[in-house]
Amino acid sequence: MEKLIDEFEGDQRELIHILHEIQKKFGYIPAQAVSRISKQLKISESEIFGVLTFYKAFSLKPRGEHLITVCMGTACHVRGAPMILDEFKRKLGIESGETTEDNQFTLETVNCVGACALGPIAKADGEYHGQLKTREVDKIIKELMNKKRNSSK
Residues that bind another protein (CB under 8 A): 11-17, 19-20, 50-51, 54-58, 72-80, 83, 86-87, 90-91, 110-119, 121, 128-130, 133-135
- Rounded Cα distance between 90 and 92, Å, is 6
User: Cα separation of 121 and 153, whole Å?
Assistant: 30
44: which residues sit within 8 A by CB, 6+ positions away? 38
Rank residues 3 and 13 by Cβ distance to another protein and give the closer one: 13
If binding is defined by CB under 6 A, does position 37 make contact with ligand FES? no
Task: Pick one of another protein, ligand FES, none as the site partner of residue 90 (Cβ within 5 to 8 A by kind).
Answer: another protein
Radius of gyration of the chain (CA): 18
Q: H helices within the chain, ranges in order?
A: 2-6, 15-26, 31-41, 45-54, 74-78, 81-92, 137-152
Residue of 107, 138, 139, 146 lying closest to 123 (CA atoms): 107
Of 121 and 140, nearer to ligand FES (C-beta) is: 121
**17 versus 25: smaller Cβ distance to another protein:** 17
Pick one of ligand FES, another protein, none as the site partner of residue 11 (Cβ within 5 to 8 A by kind). another protein
Q: Contact with ligand FES (CB under 6 A): which of 112, 134, 136, 147? A: 112
Instruction: Output 53 or 149, the one with its CB closest to another protein.
Output: 53
| Cα separation, 128 vs 89, whole angstroms | 18
- Which residues of this chain interact with ligand FES, rule CB under 6 A? 71, 73-76, 112-116, 119, 121
